Amino acid sequence: MTPPPDPAQRRIVSVLSLVQVIGGVGNGAGLAVGAIIIKDISGSSGWAGMAVVMLTLGAAAFTIPLSSIAARTGRRPALTLGWFAGSAGATVVVVGAELEWLWLILAGLALFGASTAANLQSRFAAVDRAAPGQIGRALSLVVWSTTVGAVIGPNLTGPGASFARAVGLSDLTGPVVFSAVGFAAAGLVTFVLLRPDPLVHAKDAVAPPRGIRAALPHIRGKTFTAIWAIGSSHAVMVAVMALTSVHMKDHGSSLDVIGVTISLHVAGMFALSPVMGWLSDAWGPDQTILLGQSILLLAVAVAGTSGHSEVQITIGLVLLGMGWSASVIAGAAKLTDSLAVEHRPVVQGFSDLVMNLAGALGGLLAGIVVAISGFGTLNAAAAVLTVPVIALVLSGRRVAASVA
């Protein structure tokens, strides 16, 4: 029988959930316009993919430093720093857009990516003290909380443009101003309310991590499969999502419609995450990962053949988010469950690094593929990435069955 979470665990999950709502507004607002800002200034769809590339590279660059800070001093200072750095990055993007300096926008987006690193590490903070049978659900509750802010965020594109005009800025910088404010608020709430610190209190049972190289001996078997599933699924999602706004704008969609589409995509990523967490705990991570890969295949088929249809591209993006949710939540649960407690922090940090680098590569290649061969080809290429994940999961199940 699974023991109920203690009061400290409930408070930790509640605070992290609140922070995800606030920070999600910032992430959603920035994602909706980042690629468009770069395309407008560079004049190239190929460059547009660099928005997500820089965001994910920035997240990757901050993953290990934030993990190290967490290991030394706790989750609260690490997450606080991540959110405040993201706020600074959004501010730099606004300045770069006003000056029309592409290099400054790209640098700002990289710093903006610190918010993504904080967002990702929050889900592992939620399970630092979770009971073994509740890992998937605790993790998914924090992921789900991102839904509210992330769905609202892209829909601030229109109001953001109005705000920007009112204060003398260009239209597309308005949502990014909202990102800066949202991240700063998330950092403040984390610093003030995330007490007790989940990792500090878990350190009674956790040996201090020895650096990222300490993760490598543990990346095998179930752990390897989990990391691959997370990274590959994130690459599929980022690659398709990164160029969706450009694809829609090229087909005449308004900023408001683009914002709604991205909002619904983000809802697909997060709204059903408690269901995905429950499935992972009750049905098993492997089955849930396979479900996620199947949904991703359906998503790219729908999105890749959407043409001028705003309804079809929206359905494809919602399915893309759902497939990502099932795969990443179940993958994170499988990763956590496959490791001894003392090895979790460093390997979790490595997993986030791989996830962000995979997303950066997906975004980079997406811009090139679309510039050369179009949005349909991009979706076909993304479908191929599901094959190794499915093969690894099925192979692991056969090995487990033969051992049993």
Secondary structure of 215-239 as H, E, C letters? HHHHCCCHHHHHHHHHHHHHHHHHH
Give 211 or 123, the one with higher predicted confidence. 123
CA angle (67, 176, 39) in 5-degree steps: 100
Contact 34, 178 (CB under 8 A): no
Average pLDDT over residues 206-228: 75
**What does R_g of the chain's alpha carbons equal in angstroms?**
20
The residue type of 302 is V
Mean per-residue pLDDT for 103-115? 94
pLDDT value of position 206: 47
Mean pLDDT of 185-195: 96
Report the percentage of the chain scoring pLDDT > 70.
91
pLDDT at 403: 57
Higher local confidence (pLDDT), 104 or 259: 104
Question: Can you read off the two tokens belonging to residue 282?
Answer: 């009750």
Give the rounded distance of the alpha carbon of 135 from its chain centre.
19
Average pLDDT of the segment spanning 127-133: 78
pLDDT band at 290 (very low <50, low <70, confident <90, very high): very high
Q: What is the pLDDT of residue 384?
A: 96
pLDDT band of residue 94 (cuts 50, 70, 90) is: very high
| pLDDT class of 1 with cuts at 50, 70, 90 | very low
Looking at mean pLDDT, say which of 121-130, 249-258, 295-304, 393-402 comes out highest. 295-304
What's the pLDDT at 154?
A: 67
Question: Any idea which fold 7-403 has?
Answer: Growth Hormone; Chain: A; (1.20.1250)
- CA–CA separation, 344 vs 248, rounded Å? 41
For residue 392, name the pLDDT band (cuts at 50, 70, 90). Answer: very high
Contacts within 8 Å (CB) and 24+ apart, 88-91: 88/180, 89/58, 89/113, 89/114, 89/115, 90/26, 90/30, 90/176, 90/177, 90/179, 90/180, 90/183, 91/180
Low-confidence winner among 15-24, 249-258, 292-301 (lowest mean pLDDT):
249-258
Q: Does residue 65 contact residue 180 with C-beta atoms inside 8 Å? A: no
Give the per-residue pLDDT at 247: 84
Contact assessment for residue 26 and residue 183, using Cβ atoms and an 8 Å cutoff: yes
Q: What are the sequence ranges of the domains in the chain?
A: 7-403
Name which of 174-183, 314-323, 374-383 the model is least confident about. 174-183
Residue 326's pLDDT band (cuts 50, 70, 90) = very high
Rounded mean pLDDT, 220-239: 94
Over range 314-334, report the average pLDDT.
95
Q: What is the pLDDT of residue 192?
A: 96
Q: In whole angstroms, what is the distance from residue 347 CA to residue 222 CA?
A: 13
